[in-house]
Amino acid sequence: MDSALKQSCGCYFYEWKERALTDSVGYRRKFAIIMPSTNTVVEHDYSAMKIPGVTCHFGRIYLEDGAAGDNDAFEQLISQIRASTAEAVKVVMTCKPDYLVMGMSAETFWGGKAGNEAFTQRMKDLSGVEVSTGADACHKAAEVLGIKRIAVITPYQPVADDQVYTFFSETGLEVVRIKGLKCETATAIAEVQEDRLINELKEIDGDDIDAIVQVGTNLSMLRVAAEAERWLGKPVLAINAVTLWHALRANGIDDQIAGFGQLLGKH
Tell me: the pLDDT tens digits for 198-208? 999 999 999 99
* Spatial CB neighbours of 133, under 8 Å, sequence gap ≥ 6: 102, 105, 108, 116, 119, 120, 123, 243
Distance CA 229, CA 183 (A): 25
- Are 28 and 53 in contact, with CB atoms under 8 Å apart? yes
* Spatial CB neighbours of 99, under 8 Å, sequence gap ≥ 6: 29, 30, 31, 32, 129, 130, 131, 132, 247, 250, 251
Q: What is the pLDDT of residue 19?
A: 53
Per DSSP, the three-state class of 144 is helix
Q: What is the pLDDT of residue 237?
A: 98
Confidence tier at 122 by pLDDT (50, 70, 90)? very high
Distance CA 114, CA 61 (A): 23
% pLDDT > 90, the chain: 92
Q: E-strand spans in 218-259?
A: 236-238
Residues 222-264 have pLDDT tens digits of 999 999 999 999 999 999 999 999 999 999 999 999 999 999 9
HSE toward the beta carbon, residue 150, CA cutoff 13 A: 30
pLDDT, mean of residues 10-32: 70
Q: CA distances (Å), 161 to each of 45, 68, 112, 154, 166, in order?
A: 23, 13, 11, 7, 9
pTM: 0.91
152 pairs with which residues across the strands? 178, 213
Distance CA 199, CA 57 (A): 34
CA angle (122 as vertex; 148, 133 as ends), nearest 5: 30
Short-list 212, 221, 258, CA closest to 240: 221
- Are 222 and 238 in contact, with CB atoms under 8 Å apart? yes
- Are 166 and 185 in contact, with CB atoms under 8 Å apart? no
Confidence tier at 21 by pLDDT (50, 70, 90)? low
- Are 33 and 46 in contact, with CB atoms under 8 Å apart? yes
Does the pLDDT at position 66 exceed 50? yes
Q: What is the pLDDT of residue 13?
A: 40
Put residue 52 in one of left, alpha, beta given phi > 0 → left and psi -120 to 50 → alpha.
beta
Q: E-strand spans in 162-205?
A: 174-180
DSSP classification of residue 27: S
